[in-house]
Structures are given as C-alpha cells and as structure tokens.
Structure 1
Amino acid sequence: MKKDLEKELRNEIEHSVYNALPNRFEVGEGLKIAKEHGMNQRPYVRFVSETRGVFRTPHTRVREKQ
C-alpha cells in the first residue's frame, strides 16, 4: 500500500473496507461491503467522498480506486 494511502486511511475499518472494495464500484454496492466490515452509512459516505487521493469519481454514483 502506498504511503500516501496509509495517511488517508485513518483506522483498521477503513483499511478493511478499502481492501474489500473492487477497483470500480457503485456507492450502494460499496455501502453493502462497508456494512459487512463494520462501517455504518454515515462514516462510509464520508470515507468515499472526503478521502482525498484514494477514490476518483468518474460518475455521480461510481467510485474508482486510484
């Protein structure tokens, strides 16, 4: 994992969710995966929208790992 990515992922749950997510996913699909790893909706939404340099947003509901 890149050092910049290490700085952006703040805890074990974020690491777990990041590793479980496919390279390209819809926000709803990612939420299901996040819940399986113990992350609720609000922290998940913050995670995929505020974690700079980790996810790209090619479409409104789609995210891609960088």
Structure 2
Amino acid sequence: MSGPELWPQTGRVPPLPPPITIKKAGRIRRLRSVNPIEAEYSGKAEVCKVRKYLCKICKEQGHNSRGCKI
C-alpha cells in the first residue's frame, strides 16, 4: 500500500479540503493575559476611574473650577 491508488475503495465521499483563509493586513491585536494577583486589584482601579469632578471654588461635584458658574 504505497499510494492512494492502491488503497481499497470505500463507499464514502472523499473528505473536503480545508477552507481557504485570507490573511488580514496589520498586526494581530490580542488581549493581554491578566495575572491572578492583578485580577484581585482590578476592582479598586475601576473605582478610581469613576471618580467625579470636584470644583475647588464651590465644592460641588460634576464640574471643575474652570467650568464653575461662580
């Protein structure tokens, strides 16, 4: 049995070739894997990002001193 010509015939359909894929241009963007230790502290970092503006003039939240109406 040195080649496909000498193999015994079966009643099955021959397998399909693999699909043709087109390589996209540019660098592949992948997400960085996060360490388990780093995952514990990720919740604290998100709290800091949600912090509101605090005006130094009137001490109200929602705007800074440049946008203060006073």
After TM superposition, the score normalised by the length of structure 1 is 0.21
After TM superposition, the score normalised by the length of structure 2 is 0.20
Which has the greater radius of gyration?
2
More helix by share: 1
